[in-house]
Copies of this chain bind each other. A is one copy, B any other.
């Protein structure tokens, strides 16, 4: 399997999104310089990332936008559909379940789960809310490998255990819980408050920082 550095891996979503934006306005090529300016990183670093992805550019033109976008998608496995359940039908779960942008990345939400009897069997957009008692059987029936976790903190570990027991291998964790999982199960923490903390630090140190700001902490 191909290998790129962890740091390069983290840059792929941003490359992908810039490429999509440029593609949608009909641009065909983009130079390492343009990419580096948008991302505010070094130009050489962009070329190195491309080399790691085994993408060749053209002299005087740059990199083919569509080819590069498709390369990133294939590298990340986005061309294959990933079926998932949204576990927790609160505000955030509802926002994620109704977000139209996921389908272009192969992410397909096949149902929602909630413990509240008043919500169960109602629908959110086109998704039915199932009772938490059916969580395990739904995962098994559809062979679901990933769940989106948006339950309250207190329920997070318990729900995770059920999912892992049923065969889930990846957890997209929107709760502020440091989940315990066995080896072979990957957790991605979206600790949203971290973003605010970085901005708070910046704002509270504005006077001291003035003159040496950076866009990315």
A residues with CB within 8 A of B: 1, 6, 9-10, 12-14, 16-18, 21, 38-39, 75-78, 80, 82, 90-92, 94-95, 98-99, 101-102, 105-107, 145-146, 169-170, 172, 176-178, 181, 183-206, 208-210, 213-215, 217
Contacts and interface: CB of A to CB of B under 8 A. Distances in A.
A145 B203 contact: yes
24 contacts: A1-B205, A10-B217, A13-B193, A14-B194, A38-B178, A39-B178, A80-B204, A91-B94, A91-B98, A94-B95, A95-B95, A101-B193, A105-B193, A105-B197, A146-B203, A169-B202, A169-B206, A172-B199, A181-B215, A186-B202, A186-B214, A188-B196, A188-B199, A190-B195
Nearest to A78: B200
Nearest to A212: B183
